[in-house]
Amino acid sequence: MRDFSKDHSALALNTATLGHNLDGHGAGWSPERVIYACAERGYGGVTFWRRELDGRETEIGQRVRDAGMQVVGLCRTPFLTGPLALPSDQEIMDDFHLSIDQTAALETSVLTIVTGGPEPGTKGVLESQKILADRVARAAAYAAERGVKLALEPLNPATAGNRTCLMTAADALNVCDAVGADNVGVAIDVYHVWWDTTLADTLATRANGRILGYHLCDWLADTTDVLLDRGMMGDGVADLPALRAAVEDAGYTGLCEVEIFSANNWWKRDPNEVLDTIVDRFRSEC
């Protein structure tokens, strides 16, 4: 396993950690200011959310590279299933294609998929997983032509009512198998999989180089909001070294992306404090 105690060049920031993915939160820093602050601290990369791009994908991507970092990826596709998805298949697929185009314009290779929940009128998740696989398969060739990989992200079961039909890495890999495209893999987020005692075995036997992203945060023992109360690394109950070992033993060598949704704590702090704390915790806890 890589040693980060004296080297944080594998550290990346997901801008959600500064509250930039939801209206009314965070300090409102521009992408340029975020890029400068991360580069100044020696971060290796940045992941943006679509709402920040404002049609400036090419410019923002180049600014990141000029600062000596990588654009690690883009968040995210539209919901592809469930009650939060757009009303029609055509609208879903059109926005899916747009998100792929934005990823390509940034000149990054990874687009994260948060799937959406069970399809209205269905029960359980298996039928929704079939619909998900169909829509991902229909977009995979379009993405491949543009150099984009699609990363299916399983979410914590507590979010399964409306935000996901994938709760485990095994679920996500089952959909990857159903799609059968070389550019479709998984993103592993600590917040969503820390509890899964089968994770290491699943990744070791099935990932086969298909891990496209690794997201860091922590699960607080007394979480007050499943969506918006993530912990800073080291403040919760997740075994971060063991989780990273499982991911790296399965072949992942990419950047580690800190993604902390924290409406009542970290999003209210000075972003400089947040960025400095991330560096310290990455070196000591991850």
| pLDDT tens, position by position, 212-250 | 999 999 999 999 999 999 999 999 999 999 999 999 999
Tell me the CATH number of domain 11-285, given options 3.30.230.30, 3.40.50.300, 2.60.120.10, 3.20.20.150.
3.20.20.150
Q: List, as one string, the DSSP characters of 192-247.
A: HHTT-TTHHHHHHHHTTT-EEEEEE-B--TT-S-TTTBPBPTTSSS--HHHHHHHH
The mean predicted confidence, pLDDT, of the chain is 97
Q: List, as one string, the DSSP characters of 62-120.
A: HHHHHTT-EEEEEE-PPP-SSTTS-SSHHHHHHHHHHHHHHHHHHT--EEEE---SPPT
CA distances from 18 to 13, 27, 59, 81, 103 (A): 9, 7, 21, 28, 21
Dihedral of CA atoms 277, 274, 221, 189 in degrees, nearest 10, equals -90
Any idea what DSSP says for residue 262?
B
This prediction has a pTM of 0.97
Domain ranges of the chain: 11-285
Cα-to-chain-centroid distance, residue 5? 24
Point out the residues of the chain with pLDDT beneath 50: none
Measured distance CA(243)–CA(261) in Å, rounded? 19
Joined tokens for residue 201: 């075995």
State residue 286's pLDDT score.
97
Measured distance CA(81)–CA(78) in Å, rounded? 9
State residue 24's pLDDT score.
87
State residue 20's pLDDT score.
81
